[in-house]
Amino acid sequence: MIIHIHFHSHRTGVTRSVETLIPVMNKYTEARVFGYGIDCPKTGFTALLRQVYSGGGTVIHAHRNNEMLFAILLRLLRAKFRLIFTRHSDTSPSGFTVWLMKKADMVISLNPGMAETLPCRNTMIPHGVDTELFSPGERTGIQGIKQNYLVSVVGRIRPSKGQLVAMKAISGLLEKNRELGLMLIGKVDNAGYADEIREIALRNKIESQVHFIPETNDIVRYYRASSVVIIPSVSEGFSLVCLEAMACGVITVATGATGIHDSVIQHGLNGYLFPVDDVAALSRILSDVVSGNSLPDREVIRKTILDKWSVDNNVRELLKVYSNI
């Protein structure tokens, strides 16, 4: 039995990745989640204890430090299971996190840079997306938004996600084209940062074209309504948004050397890459895309994800690790 632990009350990229994995894993084996804050088939505490003290075959997969601590406590109490830990952050791990990782039977990394720099043995297995859910569909308008051509940035509103860079890069285009709109989709983590974005919109008299959209469970509808998705992140452990948007056939413009962007996007062929914090480079790309110059084929964009980045590929690779440790 495979048990993923999820101890987090807010929906994050980790939450979405586990929610995507579990139904596909259940096609091959029995998989459950122990914890809270997630919409998945679950196992309770009594059933978990029965499983880990039954003597064989259980895999526990943790994704956060608190989850690792719980698993290590079970082992101290003589529970028997194989322990996997996925490192989701691209930042340098603390000494405590390294100590926790070294207690796992295997550490999973998500991108080449992370695989090279983690100070412990690891196997790189990128996330995948549900290509049936994330798929092209009829482009419908978004209630309350008048603009016909929408550009989106998806992610929590905070400096590491780079929304301010996107705002600066697109502000001139918004001034020139009143049919162009910017959607910033995600929970506001940093109110001061959000205010900086609003100030630029007010100063340039484009506030009616800049839309803050709360975190939503219906993100597919927003991808399908978008002509372009920008991912201006300073850092990413992975970047599910990149895979989700491209699976929907949306032109995606992302920071290079960040998360898995370089591994997925071939500049000019199935999307565009620009240097971190480079407002001028992003502005040039957006100008070309909005004007319709040399746009990537949407079928080519989606095929990239179908070929290499589906959740089915992800699950098959994880099951190999589970069975070989």
pLDDT by residue (tens digit) across 79-134? Answer: 999 999 999 998 899 999 999 999 999 999 999 999 999 999 999 999 999 999 99
User: What is the model's pTM?
Assistant: 0.93
Name the CATH superfamily housing domain 149-308: Glycogen Phosphorylase B; (3.40.50.2000)
Look at residue 55 and tell me whether its pLDDT is greater than 80.
no
Whole-number Cα distances in Å, 88 to 126, 170, 236: 10, 30, 9
Evaluate the CA torsion angle 206, 208, 212, 218 in order and state its sign: negative
Among residues 67, 124, 62, the alpha carbon closest in space to that of 90 is found at 124
Round to whole Å and give the CA distance between 151 and 253: 10
Look at residue 295 and tell me whether its pLDDT is greater than 80.
yes
Round to whole Å and give the CA distance between 79 and 247: 41
pLDDT of residue 49: 97
Mean pLDDT score, 33-44? 97
pLDDT by residue (tens digit) across 240-268? Answer: 999 999 999 999 999 999 999 999 999 99
The pLDDT > 70 percentage for the chain reads 100
Round to whole Å and give the CA distance between 59 and 193: 41
Q: Would you give the DSSP letter of residue 310?
A: B
Mean pLDDT score, 8-29? 94
CATH 3.40.50.2000 given to domain 2-128+310-324: yes
Pairing verdict, β 106-109 and 122-124? parallel
Do the domains at 2-128+310-324 and 149-308 have one common CATH topology? yes
- With 0-12 / 13-18 / 19 or more C-beta atoms within 10 angstroms meaning exposed / middle / buried, residue 239 is buried
List of residues 6+ apart from 53 with CB closer than 8 A: 78, 79, 80
Q: Alpha helix locations (H) across 158-190?
A: 163-176
Confidence of residue 11 (pLDDT cuts 50, 70, 90): confident
Look at residue 194 and tell me whether its pLDDT is greater than 80.
yes
SS3 198: helix
Average pLDDT, the chain: 96
pLDDT by residue (tens digit) across 123-134? Answer: 999 999 999 999
pLDDT of residue 293: 85
Maximum distance among all Cα pairs of the chain, rounded to whole angstroms: 67
Mean pLDDT score, 30-45? 97
pLDDT of residue 234: 95
Domain ranges of the chain: 2-128+310-324, 149-308
Among residues 238, 323, 313, 311, the alpha carbon closest in space to that of 19 is found at 311
Among residues 150, 157, 198, the alpha carbon closest in space to that of 178 is found at 150
Answer with the residue of higher pLDDT: 11 or 313: 313
Confidence of residue 69 (pLDDT cuts 50, 70, 90): very high
Look at residue 195 and tell me whether its pLDDT is greater than 90.
yes
* Dihedral Cα 135, 136, 141, 144, nearest 10 deg: 30
pLDDT of residue 140: 83
pLDDT of residue 56: 76
pLDDT of residue 120: 94
Look at residue 31 and tell me whether its pLDDT is greater than 90.
yes
pLDDT by residue (tens digit) across 175-191? Answer: 999 999 999 999 999 99
Q: Which amino acid is at 245?
A: A
